[in-house]
Structure 1
Amino acid sequence: MGLAANLRILAVLLCLAAAPPPVSANSLKTFTAKYGAFDDNTLFATTPASLIGRDALQVTPDTISDIINLTNQSGRVLLKQPFKLWKGPNNNSSSSDRVASFNSSFLINIFRINNNPAGEGLAFVLVPDTNLPNNSSGQYLGLTNSTTDGLASNRLIAVEFDTFKQDYDPDDNHVGLNINSVESKKAESLNQSGIQLSPTGAKFYNVWVEYDGVKKTIQVYIIEQPEKDGATPPRPDSPVLEEALDLRGVVDQISYFGFSASTGNTIELNCVLRWNLTVEYFSDDNGPLIKILLGVGLPAVAVAVAAAVAVAYYRRRKKRSMPINILGALKSLPGTPREFEFKDLKKATNNFDEKNKLGQGGYGVVYKGLLQNEGLEVAVKWFSRGDLKDQGDFLAELMIINRLRHKHLVRLLGWCHKNGKLLLVYDYMPNGSLDMHLFSDSNSKPLSWNLRYNIISGAASALHYLHNEYDQRVVHRDLKASNIMLDSNFNARLGDFGLARALDTEKTSYTEAEGVLGTMGYIAPECFHMGKATQQSDIYAFGAVLLEVVCGLRPGTKVGGFQFLVDWVWYLHREGRLLDAVDKRLGEEYVVEEAERVLLLGLACSHPIASERPQTQAIVQIISGSVAVPHVPPFKPAFVWPSMPMGLEDISQATTTMTNTTSFSISTSNFGTGSTSQYVSRDSNFNLV
């Protein structure tokens, strides 16, 4: 425990020592969780028609479900952990007693299939158990049925997002507060707010449901998720719905949080893509600390902690001049990844034989290995990072790799530290890297279209996880075909996190003190000016990958009189001959609509202005075919500096790198006609506003 933590505990104990002992046997605690990729099915209870898939809670069946019939379905997805919402007996509490507060924020997508009429709706719920009522499809939203609707025994409240008008509804686009019934106690149309819950085409909405257990009021806020900004926008100032509500007497004292939804004769997809939940709850257990304090005596414990603080302070001063203990830091990593013996890895790789060499880069050499005792094939990376100024940077990087969990990321199995050398052990990918198959011997069979499309879909899902669903925002900084690995079924696994960095919550970019790192052809133009990596620069690199997968050509290939692949593809787009860019080795063995979609998406991701590139959420939707590709202009736009909205930190960086610069141009053969692209820079002293 750190010095600051010990000091805080000491302060608390000294206050407790001067205060009378607690008299209540009940304590108010707080539960907080953030759910993004929804890859842990053990946390949620689902009903037969609902599932967890495509990185979202699919509250009613989605299009890839085994359930073919999407009509007249209902479902619930609930957090398995219940919460006690007030003190005392269930039916014997004063109305003036404290009720638990909660704050639930989530990102939803209610998708209208083929632009047909939508129905019926999605709801955030507090319910007494994880059961789904029978016959709760259609107007009943998975909440009640024709027999039970309106009964106090339902013990539920719901905030409904209704897309189908019943006789008791104001319209087919409203939010409502429901108590034991699908007929809302209070409903507010969203038309005047400019919000269409289930529009033509996909839109995503951020929702906040906040309950104040002191004031006993519930408020609902909603705002559209900006298409060009993956970050959650600030909560609006004014709620779309507000109502007095005392949970006691309505719901059970111990209740479950989650979502319900339904379809009727009209259908929709009801998806929850992110969910943050904070709940106050009551517990009868004050924990071991209070019991120890009351048994031993607070003054004595305070003295003991004071001694611990003194020892910690001495040790802290002593360690300031000591180097980082990398071995100790590795053994204390969260999740305690496996430590391998060097002799076992040496044996597995046949003494790191060149014949077992899988690849080599600036950050190490990778060998294939076989752990014979386990029958496990692994990839062993012998790390050599002499360019790092200290081991702290390396440990910060390893912390990222160790905690990433996604089916389309290469999994870290463990590590080994021997004589100052560090080895990382990964899952072995038997089909190597994507570029090996795209650019192999021309006599070999080309990678099929179905496999290519599946690979880019998986890579997009992995990038979306890094940018939006991991508990920190991560920029990969070296996304390219050679870093997309393929498992035994040719599923994409994004790997090589040698350059990856996690961003602080308030930051949007990572500054590399030693200049721009990455691979030419994949580096976004703004990186050369900012010296920074951003989520948008990752998307630029992904655009380059999309084009090379479809075209079968590397980003730096000179083709058709152009210096770069992207310029040639943009030229074909302008000429109305976009499909001429498809890899000739495929012949006619590809899906025309998919090829055109991916090529246009590749150009959209390659937009010279970073803020114009689609976000990963939209990219995943576009590849799946549920969202149209954004408009791609026939001529490649000019790069303009600054190319994205900047915070104060970004402006400071731009000012130091661009002072006294007004404009410059780089002559490139953009469209095979010798035209010049103007790269315009604004004077940082007065135009960066």
Structure 2
Amino acid sequence: MRSTLLISLKSPFSGHRLCFPAAAAATKLLLLLLFAHETLASSPPSDYLSFSFPSFGPDNRGNFTFPTTDSRDSQGALQITPDTANDDSFFLNKSGRVLLSRRFRLWKDPSSGNRKRTASFNTTFFINIFKPNGSLIPGEGLSFLISPDDGAPPPGSSGGYLGLTNSTIDGHSSNQIVAVEFDTVKQSYDPDDNHVGLNINSIVSNKTASLSLFGIQLLPPNPANYTVWIDYDGGAGQFIVHMALQGKPKPLTPVLEARLNLSDYVNQDSYFGFAASTGAADYQLNCVLAWNLTVENLDEKGGGNLWKILVGIAAGVVVIALAVGLLLFWHSKERRKKMKRRMAALDPSVLTGTLKSLPGMPKEFEYKDLRRATNGFEEKMKLGQGGFGIVYKGVFADDGTQVAVKKFSREDNMNSQDDFLKELTVINRLRHKHLVSLLGWCHENGVLLLVYDYMPNGSLDQHLYRTGSAVRPLLPWNRRVQVAADVASALHYLHHEYNECVVHRDLKSSNVMLDAAFRGRLGDFGLARVIDIDKTSYAELEAAGVPGTLGYIAPECFHTARATRESDVFAFGALLLELVCGRRPRCSTLPGFNFLVDWVWMLHREGTITEAVDEKLGGDYAADEAFRLLMLGLACSHPVPGERPKAAGIIQILLGTLPPPVVPPFKPGFMWPAAETSGEYEAGGVGLTSMSTLLLNSSLNYSSSTLPWTPRIVSNVGQDDV
């Protein structure tokens, strides 16, 4: 069968993906020139400017403008109006603003006969409106603001003016402001004292909605944080606001929706931020706890110099034509080499010879002995099953020795041999007391077998969830802490102590075995790979997907398809939370949460993190240890790879020789590409650096439809994996 290499290209003009045979790629690319004249001027670049601030303080203070002394960052939040004072009267009659200290181009003048273009944006932020003395009489409100400058609010903008306008300028088109208000005081023009409104150049809202209709109380009896989502579609002129209690998912129904062409009202270069005020007799604290903002970047480049761009495209076509020719030559050569390797590997003698030549190779077992020990691989001897094989219990009749026998069972015999060799080349020389030991191997009659130490107490997940054919006892607290330390020790050995760096890539509770003393042993190296000492990651070139198990896979792996020490640490964090909470990382029993880590992070933010401890323990646990393990689990689960602690630091934290890591109260948002960080949580190292130091100019439109490959989970899946 003739193999055809396909080239897939995304048109920079139309955004459509074009696929065609590589041999014709260069010719087909010339068709792009036909699109250029009609589309170049009307299709500017669609990159975005993106900012993430999970908390506020000295690390990111320089990113904001505080135009008055009444506004500041304090206690990890933006305090738009004063938050502390010795005298309550100091809180009264205040107005404040905090703005991001950079301008954004929000619209472009029409050129070359095209219509005016307006930028799209979306923002998410957490707010807390709080009455510190316990009174429920508020004053006055908080707003998200688009402003023509980053200066102070106008004089006299306290009270009902919310730091936006005053009695002199209210309603003037020269204000050039658009705001979304969250108002807690009813004025004559308001529907009630608990509403959201869209304001254009005035404190009188163009459109309002009572939040009580959505079950939202801006100033409830017990303090509450809210998440606000604001989405603006510049092309459609659609302004949509959603709101929910923090930790809850984005509702299907918006609290406010309006048609609005921003370019008709705001300055071409404007600022984003917040404004707020207090009243003459009553006051409230107006706090912003976290903020993400993404704004379409309206680049000034366009269709003004079409000829230069066309020449550049033509030059690019020539380069691509040469590259395609080289690619075809390489593809043909590699295909022939791969075919030779596969033909050689199908020869049993070649495989057996390869196995015997591996350095440090353990004992070769006879197939008949293993078959007899497992009662002919009888179903009742089955211990577990994963993506690469079935594990059976074996008992040798002559001395009663118990073993675990892994029988590779991929439908494709060639892939079974590949899996077999990969696991052997990783584990045959590993020696550590908290790794499951390899005793030997067998390759006879086309059957591939590995023989391991038998773990009489099964896998960790069987004790956490009481699953499997034999009901296991619930694992008590002290043993859970010990297992966490055992696995951390094994991970440190793989990452730093073995003469090559090994990434496990499938660390999960079903792959942690318990020996006779209930000590943890890390097993199943079916996905493990060796990293060269001078490299930092392993790329899974032969699998069109992401190796691992959902819930344990680090977010960056969906973008890179690469396994690293940091991705192993992320999986360890999921395992640690699983140990403490007695819940699976991907959990359907927590309303409003799909993943355990998000629920634990919410409890941490509310100061009640130990409520996450497994209820099945009946309160029989050490609270200080639980706090330490939960904080460490969150630190290992940090969305930014460089912010996660290293294995050595993890061991010290578990032993109590280092304090628990400092974890931000709000889970940082994942962005890619991730920025390099220098902070490491190791012995003598510093704590976690803040995600809010990241100012990334990158597109957030990463999804399975825009990645150069489609994410697919490649895993030893199964609740009873061994």
**If the TM-score is normalised by the length of the shorter chain, which range does it land in?**
0.3 to 0.5
Q: Comparing both chains, which one has the higher relative contact order based on Cα–Cα distances under 8 Å and sequence gaps of 6 or more?
A: 2
Larger of the two Rg values belongs to structure: 2
Report the TM-score when normalising by structure 1.
0.48
TM-score (norm 2): 0.46
